[in-house]
Each structure stands twice: as structure tokens, then as C-alpha cells.
């Protein structure tokens, strides 16, 4: 078949060729990009195929065909197989159609390939140039940004108000800003000639440098601490130091960046505030807070022993009240200086606890007494304050202990308590803590606190000790003795708590309770045994008699119970009588006028002023136990003791008083007292104190007897 024969299959259908060409280029072609959709691709290739066939009959078609190849490349159909597949499709199509002679077809395909390659190369060069230009632009942009960033960093580094420095791992200073250099008195270039070892300060501890070495090893990325630097002129600059590790691209340590802030003023303020928080503003001594810290630290060692001297200035209030607080403050300052001079050994601490109280902590417990003696010695010298010569002594409580046997609070409390023992013993001395006494004092404190509740919980009750006529040993009176049935300590005697009631202000309530119960028991005895009712004797304190309401209270009890006034006897001690004058004495006279018997208890232990007794509304003298004890046996009774007793009894009778002997324990005592003219007696020889029921039983077995008023503690006949 000749090449000018009729067209081959689909030769007249460029769209069929475009379809096959599109399929060749889009199906499984690797490493190229198809920049159009399938429809757009098919339209482009159909146009190129039509033009390719149309050019076949044109003279010199190479240039036109080359343009078609170039257009395919410029349409961005690029890749390893685009040209080869296009030549294969075109060659197969036009070769089978025989519309183009083979030699001419080969020339046209060659021209198509040349046009495609030239255009592809031009496109590739353009792309490479574009990439190169973009790279240059990007590099210039990065360099510009880097220069700007470096400029900003340099400006921040140089002009920053906080000190900044850069060092290598050997400690050599690479860069430092003006703030850091100025902080230490250098120029930046001068500091760059230094190394980290040149900035060591005497206050640096090993822990700080161990931490820095760990940073250089890469164990940490950042360290923050307070560090002192030595200024060029010699003074210390305290800083807040922040050291950061800079690593290279492999993560290995490369540089250290330090940020340094001057905190000297802040630290000085902090130390000043800390000093004020732990020191007394007047004396400059450590204050209570600082002392407690030191005491707590001492207790950290459970085997440690140490001593404590708790010091209080005697009569300091009188100095303040007499000379004014300015003189008092000056006295405290001088006293503090003397105390500081007494504590010169290592570890001894002098502190002001407040007011006129000071404390000295002694590391070794054995030295506490020695320190106390030194303090007493230095306080023997008068204080010269603004022309006033003041002699002020000190009372000191000394406490020695091992930390394993007590606590800080217990130790301080014990020392404070011991100081008050020294005051009670006469002041101007020291007393060493006694554990047994401390326990007793503690018990007294607990009893004092429990007394109000005991008064309302019916824990208090009365026992009665009979008073007998020495002529026939018959009971003529009973003394009411209060008892406390304590829920823990058991039954307590008056000696264990009555003085506490006087000290803490409960004596009025206690006395009222005793008086009312004794009078009610007496009322019961009157109702049962009207012919043999004993006089009931009740102890009264000076504080009660001094109470303006006491007289009304006694009269109210007498009226409320309805007992005859001469059935009641009130006992006061000698000391109480000596403190009784004015209204209290008038109250006693009023009761005596009603018929109430008034007795002086424990006569002979106080002033024994018989002349004064004649001025009191007395009925009964009760001889104190020591007088009676001296005549316990014939061998013990000396002529002088007997003479004294005989004189007191005779003088008492001469003044119109009856005499009662206390603490009679032997038959010889009873017989001798009777021979001396003593009227009545009480003691274990006759009866021990007993409950009210036993007194009632005694009254029940007694036969009625005439009332012997003069020998029962009542007023003598004719009064």
C-alpha cells in the first residue's frame, strides 16, 4: 500500500488520536506532572495532533512541528517518559495511517522532539534560575534577619539593666555587659580579661561550686542562688545569680550564660528586719523568739545536757513607779549589759524574755549554777542612772536537764517556776529546780484550777472533831473540818487546799459552804437532841472577815437555819486577828453581841500579844499544838514549858476567856492540862475527825446533861 493511499484507521479523527495520546501521558507515567485536568489535557493534545497532521503537507514543516513540541513542554508536560510516549503515539498513529511518508514522518518527529527538548531545557533553566534567585533572596533575608536579631541581642545584652555575662566551660569570660562590669567596679573589656576563679568570694561555700560543676557537666540546665562578689574597691556586692547552660547542636555543654541582679540593699533590709524580728529593740539582746529557736535547736540532740538561768529583777515595778519608765528602761539596758558580761563562754546565750525577765542558756548543765552566782555578784553593785544610785537584786531559777528527759516547753516552764521560788524565798538569790517540789506545785496549780468546779459538784464535805470537857471527857463542841473528795487524788485535808482558796479568791465561796453546812448539821442536832447539842466551831480567814458582805452572810445563815447564835463559834488565827481592824473588827463585835462565840486559833504561833487580845471580842483561846506537844510525856515536859502554859491559862481566865488545848494525844497531856486549869481539849486521845453521822451516833448514846456554857466554847457566865 502506497503512502498516498486513503487515510488509515481514525486518521480523520484527531480526537481519537488525542484520546490515545492523553491515555499514554496520564496512565502510569512516572516522574512528571500533569498540570491540567483530563478534559483540558485531551483538548490540548487534540489541537496539537490536528496541527501536526495539517503541517505534514506544508513545505519545510520542521520549524512548525518543533513549535508544537515546544508548546507541549511549555504547557508543563514534563517528565522522563513524556517525550518518548508522545513520539511513540504520534509515530504509531501517522505511520499506520500512511498519510505522511515515513522519511518525512521521521523528520517531523525529530523536529517535534527537538522543539520539546529545547523548550524543556529553557523551562528547566528558568526554573533553576528562579530557585537560585529565590535562594539568594531567602539567604539575604535570613542574613538580614540574623543581623537584625544579633543587633537586637547585642542591644539587649549591652544595654540591659541586669548584669549579663557569657563564659566558656573553662570559666573564661567571653562577653560581659556594662551593667555587670559596673556592678563590680570594672569596664567590660577589663572583665573580659578575668575568669570565673577571679570572682570567688570568701563567703562562697563548697556546695555552691559543686552545684556549678554539676551544671558544667550537663547534670542541670539552670542554677539559681545568692552569691557574693568582691567589688573592685573591696566591699561586698550581694547578687541573685541565675546561671544557664548553653548546649551545642549535639546537646553537649558549650557555654554558660549568667544573669546577675544586685540585691545588696534588699539583703541589707532583709537582715535588718530579721535582726529586729529576733532582737529586743531596747537592750539589743536576742528576744524571746530567738531564744526559743536556740532552745529548739539544742533539743535536736537527744543526748545533750545544758542549763538555764531564768532571771527576774527584784522590785523593778517600784523603780518604774518611783522614777518613771525612762529610768526603768535605762536600768534594763544596763542590766542587759551586765548579764552579757556574765555569759562569755562559747555557746552561752543571753536573751530578754520581756519586761524585766531575762534568760541565759548554758551549753553545759553543770555551769548553770556558776553563771547564776556570777549574776548575783554583779548585781551587788548599784546602778548609776542619771544621777540615781539604784540597788537592784535579781531572783534566778536554775534548771539543768538532758534533752532526752524533758521538752523545751517543760524546761522553760520549770525554770520560770523556779525563779518564783527564789522570789518566795526572799529574793536576791538563786534556787535550783527540785522535781518533787515541781510536782507539788503542779498539783497545787491543778487543784486551784479545779476548785470552782469542786464547789459546785458537791466534792467538798465536812468532818467534825469533838471538843471535850477535860473534867469528864464529855463532848461539848465540834470543830468543822472541810475535806475535798478529789476524783483523782482522793480525799484532801484542809492543809492541802485552803491556802489555795485564799490565794485564788475562792476562800469566800469555800467559807460560805462550810458555814452553811455546819449550821445545817447543827440545826439537825438541835432538832434531835435539844438538851445535848454541841457548839459547832467553824474556821474563818481574815479575807472573809474583811469582805463587806461577810457579816450579812453569817447573819443570813443563822436566820435561815434557825440555830441559836450561841451554838456557833468562829475561829480566827492570831495573824488573822492582827490584820483585823476597822469594819472587820466591828463585824466580829456585832456577831459577839448576838451571842456567837469568837475564838483565837493556834494561839502561841503568831504574835501572842495578850494585851491586844483584851481589846478583841474573844471568848475562847485555843492553844497551838506545839505547846501541848512539849508536855507529851513526863520526861518531855520541862518546868519552863509547864510554866508558860500555866501563865497563858491563868491570864486567859483572868481576861474572861475559856481555854481549849489542841492536839492532845496522851493521857499525861490531858491530866496535866486539867491540873493547869485548861477547860476543854481536842485530839486523837479523845476522838479523831469523823463524819456527821458518827457525831449523831455519839449524841444518840449520850444521856441528857445540863448545858455547860462556860466549858463548851460559849461565852462565860455574865457576859
CA torsion through residues 194, 200, 206, 212, sign: negative
- Neighbouring residues of 140: CB distance < 8 A, sequence distance ≥ 6: none
| DSSP labels, 221-235 | SEEEEEEEEE-TTS-
Q: What is the dihedral of CA 640, 641, 643, 645, to 10 degrees?
A: 160
What pTM does this model have? 0.55
Give me the pLDDT at residue 331, please. Answer: 95
How far is CA 146 from each of CA 142, 150, 199, 634, rounded to the nearest angstrom?
Answer: 6, 6, 33, 123
SS (H, E, C) 4-26: CCCCCCCCCCHHHHHHHHHHHHH
Give me the pLDDT at residue 195, please. Answer: 84
Give me the pLDDT at residue 316, please. Answer: 93
Q: How far apart are CA 228 and CA 178, in angstroms?
A: 19
Q: How far apart are CA 586 and CA 489, in angstroms?
A: 40
Give me the pLDDT at residue 706, please. Answer: 44
User: For residue 88, how many other CB atoms are within 10 A of its CB?
Assistant: 14
- Neighbouring residues of 479: CB distance < 8 A, sequence distance ≥ 6: 464, 465, 467, 537, 539, 571, 682
Q: What is the pLDDT of residues 599-619, one digit of tens each?
A: 998 887 655 566 667 778 899
Q: How far apart are CA 282 and CA 275, in angstroms?
A: 13
Report the DSSP pairing between strands 535-539 and 475-486.
parallel
Give me the pLDDT at residue 312, please. Answer: 95
Gyration radius of the chain over CA positions: 59
Give me the pLDDT at residue 33, please. Answer: 56
Residue 711: helix, strand or coil by DSSP?
A: helix
533 φ/ψ angles, rounded to the nearest 5 degrees = -70, 125
Give me the pLDDT at residue 89, please. Answer: 84
Report the DSSP pairing between strands 535-539 and 568-573.
parallel
How far is CA 221 from each of CA 169, 255, 479, 580, rounded to the nearest angstrom?
Answer: 14, 11, 90, 86
Low-confidence ranges of the chain (pLDDT < 70): 1-14, 27-34, 56-57, 147-161, 365-366, 403-405, 578-582, 605-612, 703-719
CA torsion through residues 362, 367, 368, 372, sign: negative
Give me the pLDDT at residue 5, please. Answer: 33
Amino acid at each position: 500500500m502506497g503512502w498516498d493511499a486513503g487515510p488509515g484507521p481514525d486518521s480523520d479523527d484527531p480526537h481519537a488520536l488525542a484520546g490515545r495520546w492523553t491515555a499514554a501521558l496520564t496512565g502510569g507515567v512516572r516522574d512528571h506532572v500533569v498540570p491540567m485536568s483530563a478534559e483540558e489535557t485531551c483538548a490540548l493534545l487534540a489541537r496539537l495532533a490536528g496541527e501536526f497532521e495539517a503541517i505534514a503537507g506544508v513545505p519545510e514543516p520542521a520549524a512548525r512541528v518543533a513549535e508544537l513540541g515546544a508548546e507541549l513542554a511549555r504547557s508543563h508536560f514534563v517528565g522522563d517518559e513524556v517525550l518518548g510516549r508522545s513520539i511513540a503515539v504520534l509515530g504509531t498513529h501517522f505511520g499506520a495511517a500512511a498519510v505522511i511518508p515515513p522519511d518525512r514522518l521521521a523528520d517531523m518527529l525529530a523536529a517535534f522532539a527537538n522543539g520539546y527538548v529545547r523548550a524543556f531545557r529553557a523551562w528547566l533553566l528558568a526554573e533553576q534560575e528562579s530557585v537560585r534567585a529565590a535562594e539568594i533572596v531567602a539567604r539575604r533575608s535570613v542574613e538580614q534577619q540574623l543581623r537584625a536579631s544579633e543587633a537586637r541581642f547585642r542591644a539587649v545584652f549591652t544595654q540591659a539593666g541586669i548584669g549579663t555575662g557569657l563564659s566558656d566551660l573553662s570559666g573564661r569570660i567571653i562577653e560581659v555587659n556594662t551593667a555587670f562590669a559596673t556592678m563590680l567596679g570594672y569596664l567590660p573589656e577589663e572583665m573580659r580579661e578575668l575568669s570565673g576563679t577571679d570572682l570567688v568570694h570568701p563567703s562562697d561555700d563548697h556546695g555552691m561550686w559543686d552545684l556549678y560543676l554539676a551544671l558544667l557537666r550537663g547534670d542541670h540546665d539552670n542554677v539559681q542562688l545568692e552569691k557574693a562578689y568582691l567589688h573592685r574597691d573591696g566591699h561586698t556586692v550581694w547578687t541573685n545569680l541565675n546561671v544557664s547552660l548553653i548546649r551545642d547542636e549535639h546537646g553537649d555543654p558549650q557555654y554558660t550564660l549568667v544573669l546577675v541582679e544586685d540585691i545588696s540593699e534588699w539583703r541589707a533590709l532583709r537582715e535588718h528586719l530579721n535582726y529586729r524580728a529576733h532582737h529586743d529593740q531596747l537592750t539589743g539582746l536576742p528576744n524571746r523568739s530567738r531564744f526559743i529557736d536556740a532552745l529548739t535547736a539544742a533539743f535536736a540532740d537527744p543526748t545533750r545536757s545544758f542549763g538555764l538561768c531564768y532571771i527576774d529583777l527584784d522590785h523593778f515595778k517600784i523603780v518604774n513607779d518611783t522614777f518613771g519608765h525612762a529610768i526603768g528602761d535605762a536600768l534594763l539596758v544596763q542590766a542587759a549589759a551586765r548579764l552579757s558580761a556574765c555569759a562569755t563562754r562559747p555557746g552561752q546565750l543571753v536573751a530578754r524574755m520581756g519586761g524585766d525577765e531575762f534568760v541565759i542558756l548554758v551549753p553545759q548543765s553543770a555551769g548553770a549554777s556558776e553563771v547564776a552566782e556570777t549574776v548575783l555578784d554583779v548585781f551587788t553593785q548599784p546602778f548609776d542612772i542619771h544621777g540615781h544610785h539604784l540597788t537592784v537584786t535579781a531572783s534566778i531559777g536554775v534548771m539543768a536537764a538532758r534533752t532526752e528527759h524533758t521538752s523545751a516547753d517543760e524546761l522553760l516552764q520549770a525554770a520560770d517556776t523556779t525563779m518564783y521560788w527564789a522570789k518566795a524565798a526572799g529574793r536576791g538569790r538563786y534556787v535550783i529546780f527540785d522535781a518533787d517540789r515541781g510536782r507539788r506545785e503542779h498539783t497545787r496549780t491543778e487543784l486551784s484550777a479545779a476548785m470552782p468546779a469542786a464547789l459546785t459538784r458537791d466534792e467538798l464535805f465536812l468532818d467534825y472533831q469533838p471538843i471535850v470537857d477535860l473534867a469528864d471527857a464529855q463532848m461539848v463542841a465540834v470543830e468543822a473540818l472541810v475535806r475535798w473528795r478529789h476524783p483523782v487524788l482522793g480525799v484532801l485535808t484542809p492543809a492541802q487546799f485552803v491556802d489555795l482558796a485564799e490565794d485564788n479568791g475562792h476562800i469566800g465561796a469555800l467559807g460560805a459552804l462550810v458555814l452553811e453546812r455546819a449550821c445545817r448539821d447543827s440545826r439537825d442536832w438541835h432538832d434531835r437532841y435539844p438538851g445535848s447539842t454541841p457548839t459547832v466551831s467553824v474556821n474563818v480567814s481574815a479575807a472573809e472577815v474583811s469582805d463587806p458582805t461577810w457579816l450579812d452572810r453569817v447573819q443570813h445563815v443563822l436566820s435561815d437555819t434557825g440555830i441559836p447564835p450561841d451554838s456557833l463559834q468562829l475561829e480566827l488565827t492570831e495573824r488573822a486577828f492582827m490584820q483585823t481592824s476597822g469594819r472587820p473588827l466591828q463585824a466580829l463585835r456585832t456577831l459577839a453581841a448576838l451571842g456567837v462565840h469568837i475564838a483565837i486559833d493556834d494561839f502561841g504561833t503568831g504574835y501572842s500579844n495578850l494585851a491586844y487580845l483584851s481589846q478583841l471580842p474573844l471568848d475562847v483561846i485555843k492553844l497551838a499544838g506545839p505547846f501541848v506537844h512539849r508536855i507529851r510525856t513526863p520526861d518531855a515536859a520541862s518546868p519552863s514549858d509547864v510554866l508558860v502554859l500555866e501563865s497563858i491559862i491563868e491570864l486567859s481566865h483572868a481576861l474572861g476567856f475559856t481555854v481549849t488545848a489542841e492536839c492532845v494525844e496522851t493521857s499525861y497531856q490531858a491530866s496535866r492540862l486539867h491540873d493547869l486549869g485548861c477547860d476543854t481539849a481536842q485530839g486523837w486521845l479523845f476522838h479523831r475527825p469523823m463524819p456527821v453521822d458518827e457525831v449523831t451516833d455519839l449524841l444518840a448514846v449520850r444521856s441528857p446533861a445540863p448545858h455547860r456554857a462556860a466549858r463548851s466554847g460559849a461565852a462565860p457566865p455574865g457576859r
